[in-house]
A and B are shown apart, each in its own frame.
Chain A
Amino acid sequence: MSDRQRNLFVLLLVAGLLLASAVAVATKPTKLGLDLQGGVELVYQVKPRAGQPAPTPETIQRTIDVMRERVDQLGVAEPEIQQAGGDQINVALPDVSNLQQAIKQVGTVAQLAFYDWEPTVIGPDGQPDPENAAVTGGPSAGDASAGLTLYDALLRAEKRPAKVEPDNSRDGNLYFAVDRDAKKVYGLGEETEAEALQNVPAAKKAGASVITVKPDTVILRAQKPADGPKPDRWFVLKDDVALAGKEIKDPEQNFDQGTGGSGQPIVTFSFSDQGRRTWESVTKAIAQRGQESVGILQSGDQTLQHFAIVLDNELVSSPTIDYRQYPEGIDGRNGSQIEGGFTIGTAQELANILKTGALPVQLELISSSQVSATLGRQALNQGLVAGVAGFIVVALFLLIFYRVLGVIAVAALAVYGVYFFALIKSIPVVLTLPGIAGLILTLGVAADANIVIFERVKEEIRGGRSIASGIATGYKKGLSAIIDANVVIVMVAFILFTLATAGVQGFALTLGLGVIVSLFTAVLATQAILGAMSKSRFISNPSALGAEKPKGNRFRLDYMGYSKWFFSASGVILLVCALALGSKGINFGIDFESGTRINVELKQNVDENKVRGVLRGEGLADAKIQKVTGNKDAKGASQFQISTDNLRPLEVSRVTDALAEAFGSANTPSSTSIGPTFGQTVANSAVIAILASLFVISAYIALRFEPKYAVPVLIALTHDILITAGVYALVGQEVTTATVAALLTILGYSLYDTIIVFDRIRENVPRMPRAAFSQIVNRSMSEVIVRSLATTFSTALPVLALLLFGGETLQAFAFALLVGTLSGTYSSIFIAGPVLTLWKERETVYRRRHVRIAAENGGVVPAFATGAANEQIDPDAKRKLRKGQRVTAPDDPEAGVSREEFEELVRDLHIDPVPQRTAAAKSKPKPKPKPASVRDESADAMPEDVVMPPARDDSAAAPKRSKRSSAAAKRRGKHGRPR
């Protein structure tokens, strides 16, 4: 396929894909994440039941299935329930505004159990006392008035011995952290002592101890009154389950309409065969006990015995069995019912939960967040504005800097935008706020790829190539650096996707996808457009491409010479950062530290003190209250962000209700609660992700370049991460999961610049076989400094747009990216290069060169390589083109170097140009080259090693010729007659 055909094919492909993408964009809906459309997100950690083995993947999948069934009953459109990591389940419920109900419906384990009440309630001596109404509650069995405080209940339970029986609801210990002096209990029981102690606030840890509740003892919360909250009153029971919840079937919400029925909502159910038999024998035993108690106990209701219906260690109801009505127990064929002061809604909820069955595992809610739909829309608008602004600034930069090439790059960016959006809709990818950040960043990546190639094209044209050849060679030579850099970014995005939390995963996915798509548009599409236009008058003049000869080389600095001062600057910055880190510490957000953050918009314009007054009443006097200003979209007169220790959803509701009652609520409040386990998981994942990225990056660099190149890269990356962390400490900016995502992205971006520099060094090393390594690096730096700065600029521009227009979440993200991007460019040029130089110059071959060059130049190694006559080698020497000259001279795009470059190589080698050398060869005998086997590998290349390959004779390297010339060549070959 000829170049022309290839270009045409690519352009047709681009147009076809563009059409398909436009159709996809127009017809397919965009799937928005919770942060953009509002809803509830819950993260559960799966735990084995006490004494049970760790959950298997199958158990977790079964749990997810049960949860999905429950969510379907909630009527939520497009819920997302998926496993995250090894032992977490992520539940995203779009458009749900009741956090509490969602938690109740989705995460309730629903372990239903029936207990024979009187013989199992434990008295003060740790033993059951069925006839003592003070212990059992008598007619008020299960009522809060007969219950104990949790602390007292634990002291009672503590006395009980361990006994593992088949009818136990659990087989393992349960641990409660308590403060014995304050008689306070932290948490509601954990599987391990360590977990129990995690519930104790840091300030109270010293006085905390642990009470163990052994198997065969269970602590139940007293029955909730019809109109009131769950009571903080408890009973201790011998854990002898009379009938397990798995024996019931067909639960339904109904009304109590039987004889003497109250008409109240109830839950009815039937039994399995086994359940029916058990039910009959249990109720018979209860009835007989009631009958036997006549005369012992007082008559009337006091003789009636109870059974308890318990759901997840909370007493739902404790009905009596009337021995007069059911002396032989209750016939289970007609099923039974649960009464418990239900409303229709709560009865339906219970029926639904029982219908889907108990979750096979214990679940701990480790993070919950609620985003109001208004806030979601606001975030979406901010993200879109930032995206448009990012696109405009990058486009302007490309147009100003690259003129005609810029127009092509902007067109490619627009095509990229359409492709990417179509891909997001077609897969479909749930678009989140961090995802939009990823999308905006990929605009920078796409522009970077264009910049790297365009700079290379300009360089080739300035070096004397024709426009067509410059384009072909520029793409060919620029591609390796782009692929290396983008592969690294994709790898980092993959690591981020694997290890990060859900929000950051969205960012990683869009970043990874965007980089891959941008490779197609920024490399293939632009090459086809430029290739098709190469003979066009629009780009016939180098100035149209911005490839005119610059006046002098403004960036030709002795980078290695100045490196000491650049090192010092970094050293000073790091020192200041380290001292700031020591003195101020890092302001970790609730993602890491755990806690609850509530955002409220109030109708009244009040100050922090008034809000604190309300919070004090809720026991949150220590809460951090921050008035939010400058939000133009706010509906209320005042907006606050409240940060507290980790609160339960019920406590969050209490706080928001209290504030709404006091000052009026202008909008649905948003809240995020992160438990200590989740915070620890996030922190661990962050460290693992950073270490894994560093490992993968160094392995890749070692393979693509050489192992020695990987070490300066690692040092430069460490430099960037530490500087970013230090700046965060210095300015007190909050570190969130988004910051970690930004840090990992910085690794990728910092590497982009380093790879560009190292790629050029790699290219120049064989081209300068007698130069010192510092000279090679100096020259490489001079050649690529413009593109390094331009790529930084093109990345920094969309980041700046994020910072200015992205809203609170994206601003935090953009801040880290901006610091990291600037530090990354700095370290690529002024840290990685010099470190590589200092290390490589210790190698024998470069040490020898250094010594030789120093000896030739009075003990000093010049910053740049000098030629035979001691004149400085100018990489651009004699490449000047006449202003306005149309460069259409046909040359060979397949050749590695142009003739000018070859002459320059010869100058680098301290040998005369080819014609003189040929003439000199007549007068001097040619030195006999050493046999390859005895040559010193570390020795410099000799001038004789460099021979200009014939430009046209090499058939493999030769470009496609016309049919006529090919035929002529064949004829020549056939007749063996040279012409």
Chain B
Amino acid sequence: MGLLAWTMIGLALWHFTVFLPDRCWSGIIGAFLGCNFGAILFGLAIHGFAVPGQNDTDLITALEGVPGAMIGYGLMYWLGVRQEARAGEEDELLAT
């Protein structure tokens, strides 16, 4: 149940990333992967890599997906920016 809640949180937050610049690695798909896997992995890490069952899932469990989704998105964004910078450097090299 915890896994479902984190996935839902990850997906929900991903929907709002369309307001941010499209600079993630692999664009909106990268953002999707970042938010979802981030939320799931962070949630799992908090719970010692065990999935909370129906009775162990509460509001806090669901909210544990939020920082994970943001970290995941941040990571994808950083990868995207780095990729852009590299591509820019390569273009400059080619131009010279």
Question: B40 on the interface (CB 8 Å rule)?
Answer: no
Residues on B with C-beta less than 8 A from A842 are 22, 26-27
Question: B15 on the interface (CB 8 Å rule)?
Answer: yes
CB distance from B24 to the nearest CB of A (A): 10
Residues on B with C-beta less than 8 A from A574 are 8, 11-12, 15
**Closest A residue to B39 using CB positions:** A578
Question: A575 on the interface (CB 8 Å rule)?
Answer: yes
Residues on A with C-beta less than 8 A from B65 are 578
Cα–Cα, bound, A715→B5 (Å) = 16
**Closest A residue to B8 using CB positions:** A578
B-contact 0/1 string along A686-723, CB 8 Å cutoff: 00000000000000000000000001000100110010
B15: contacting residue among A568, A581, A725, CB under 8 A: A568
Instruction: Identify the interface centre among A571, A722, A835, A838: most chain B CB within 10 Å of its CB.
Output: A571
CB distance from B46 to the nearest CB of A (A): 14
Residues on A with C-beta less than 8 A from B8 are 574, 577-578, 581, 722, 725-726
Whether A719 and B11, one on each chain, are in contact in the complex, defined by CB atoms closer than 8 angstroms, is yes
Cα–Cα, bound, A583→B62 (Å) = 8
Whether B1 and A575, one on each chain, are in contact in the complex, defined by CB atoms closer than 8 angstroms, is no
A719-733 at interface with B (beta carbon < 8 Å): 719, 722, 725-726
Whether A575 and B9, one on each chain, are in contact in the complex, defined by CB atoms closer than 8 angstroms, is yes
Residues on B with C-beta less than 8 A from A577 are 8, 12
Question: A921 on the interface (CB 8 Å rule)?
Answer: no
Question: B90 on the interface (CB 8 Å rule)?
Answer: no
B-contact 0/1 string along A582-597, CB 8 Å cutoff: 1101101000000000
Q: Provided the pairs A582-B57, A582-B60, A842-B27 are in contact, do residues A567 and B18 lie with their beta carbons within 8 angstroms?
A: yes
Whether A582 and B63, one on each chain, are in contact in the complex, defined by CB atoms closer than 8 angstroms, is yes
CB distance from A522 to the nearest CB of B (A): 35
**Closest B residue to A583 using CB positions:** B59
Residues on A with C-beta less than 8 A from B63 are 579, 582
Q: Provided the pairs A567-B15, A567-B18 are in contact, do residues A585 and B57 lie with their beta carbons within 8 angstroms?
A: yes
Cα–Cα, bound, A586→B1 (Å) = 8
**Closest A residue to B12 using CB positions:** A574
Residues on A with C-beta less than 8 A from B59 are 579, 582-583
CB distance from B9 to the nearest CB of A (A): 5
**Closest A residue to B54 using CB positions:** A585
**Chain B interface size range:** 20 to 34
CB distance from A739 to the nearest CB of B (A): 14
Residues on B with C-beta less than 8 A from A572 are 12
Cα–Cα, bound, A564→B5 (Å) = 23
**Chain A interface size range:** 20 to 34
B16: contacting residue among A571, A578, A585, A722, CB under 8 A: A571
Whether A839 and B27, one on each chain, are in contact in the complex, defined by CB atoms closer than 8 angstroms, is yes
A812-863 at interface with B (beta carbon < 8 Å): 834-835, 838-839, 842
CB distance from B47 to the nearest CB of A (A): 14
**Closest B residue to A575 using CB positions:** B12
Cα–Cα, bound, A316→B62 (Å) = 56
B5: contacting residue among A568, A581, A835, CB under 8 A: A581
Whether B62 and A581, one on each chain, are in contact in the complex, defined by CB atoms closer than 8 angstroms, is yes
Whether A563 and B58, one on each chain, are in contact in the complex, defined by CB atoms closer than 8 angstroms, is no
Cα–Cα, bound, A765→B80 (Å) = 27
Residues on B with C-beta less than 8 A from A127 are none
**Closest A residue to B27 using CB positions:** A842
B31-64 at interface with A (beta carbon < 8 Å): 32, 54-55, 57-63
Cα–Cα, bound, A167→B62 (Å) = 58
CB distance from B64 to the nearest CB of A (A): 9
Question: B85 on the interface (CB 8 Å rule)?
Answer: no
A586: contacting residue among B28, B29, B54, CB under 8 A: B54
**Closest B residue to A838 using CB positions:** B28
Residues on B with C-beta less than 8 A from A715 are 32
Whether A581 and B57, one on each chain, are in contact in the complex, defined by CB atoms closer than 8 angstroms, is yes
Cα–Cα, bound, A733→B50 (Å) = 27
Whether A571 and B54, one on each chain, are in contact in the complex, defined by CB atoms closer than 8 angstroms, is no
Whether B18 and A564, one on each chain, are in contact in the complex, defined by CB atoms closer than 8 angstroms, is yes
Residues on A with C-beta less than 8 A from B11 are 574, 718-719, 722
Cα–Cα, bound, A725→B58 (Å) = 16
Question: B70 on the interface (CB 8 Å rule)?
Answer: no
Cα–Cα, bound, A571→B32 (Å) = 12
Question: B76 on the interface (CB 8 Å rule)?
Answer: no
Whether B5 and A571, one on each chain, are in contact in the complex, defined by CB atoms closer than 8 angstroms, is no
Q: Provided the pairs A578-B62, A582-B57 are in contact, do residues A711 and B4 lie with their beta carbons within 8 angstroms?
A: no
Whether B58 and A583, one on each chain, are in contact in the complex, defined by CB atoms closer than 8 angstroms, is yes
Whether A582 and B58, one on each chain, are in contact in the complex, defined by CB atoms closer than 8 angstroms, is yes
Cα–Cα, bound, A719→B10 (Å) = 11
Cα–Cα, bound, A891→B12 (Å) = 51
Cα–Cα, bound, A572→B11 (Å) = 10
Instruction: Identify the interface centre among A568, A572, A582: most chain B CB within 10 Å of its CB.
Output: A582
Q: Provided the pairs A578-B8, A835-B28 are in contact, do residues A567 and B16 lie with their beta carbons within 8 angstroms?
A: yes
B4: contacting residue among A570, A581, A719, CB under 8 A: A581
Cα–Cα, bound, A563→B16 (Å) = 11
Cα–Cα, bound, A578→B60 (Å) = 11
Cα–Cα, bound, A583→B5 (Å) = 10
Whether B15 and A838, one on each chain, are in contact in the complex, defined by CB atoms closer than 8 angstroms, is no
Q: Provided the pairs A715-B32, A838-B28, A839-B28 are in contact, do residues A571 and B13 lie with their beta carbons within 8 angstroms?
A: yes
Cα–Cα, bound, A583→B15 (Å) = 22
Cα–Cα, bound, A572→B13 (Å) = 9
Cα–Cα, bound, A726→B54 (Å) = 14
B19: contacting residue among A564, A570, A711, A725, CB under 8 A: A564
Whether A722 and B7, one on each chain, are in contact in the complex, defined by CB atoms closer than 8 angstroms, is yes
Cα–Cα, bound, A842→B84 (Å) = 12
Cα–Cα, bound, A653→B9 (Å) = 46
Whether B54 and A582, one on each chain, are in contact in the complex, defined by CB atoms closer than 8 angstroms, is no
CB distance from A528 to the nearest CB of B (A): 44
Cα–Cα, bound, A586→B54 (Å) = 8
**Closest B residue to A576 using CB positions:** B12
Residues on A with C-beta less than 8 A from B22 are 838, 842
Residues on A with C-beta less than 8 A from B54 are 585-586, 588
B-contact 0/1 string along A223-242, CB 8 Å cutoff: 00000000000000000000
CB distance from A915 to the nearest CB of B (A): 43
Cα–Cα, bound, A134→B61 (Å) = 59
Whether A563 and B18, one on each chain, are in contact in the complex, defined by CB atoms closer than 8 angstroms, is yes
B9: contacting residue among A578, A711, A719, A839, CB under 8 A: A578
Give 24 A-B contacts (CB < 8 Å), ordered by A residue.
A563-B18, A568-B18, A570-B15, A571-B12, A578-B5, A578-B8, A578-B9, A578-B62, A578-B65, A579-B59, A579-B62, A581-B8, A581-B57, A585-B54, A586-B1, A586-B54, A715-B32, A725-B8, A726-B8, A834-B18, A835-B32, A838-B28, A839-B28, A842-B26
Residues of B within 8 A of A (CB): 1, 4-5, 7-9, 11-16, 18-19, 22, 26-29, 32, 54-55, 57-63, 65
Give 10 A-B pairs besides A575-B12, A838-B27 with Cβ atoms closer than 8 angstroms. Answer: A567-B16, A570-B15, A579-B63, A581-B57, A582-B63, A585-B54, A585-B57, A718-B11, A839-B29, A842-B27
9 cross-chain pairs, A with B, having the tightest CB-CB distances, nearest first: A582-B62, A571-B15, A574-B12, A578-B8, A575-B12, A838-B28, A582-B59, A583-B59, A567-B15
Residues of A within 8 A of B (CB): 563-564, 567-568, 570-572, 574-575, 577-579, 581-583, 585-586, 588, 711, 715, 718-719, 722, 725-726, 834-835, 838-839, 842
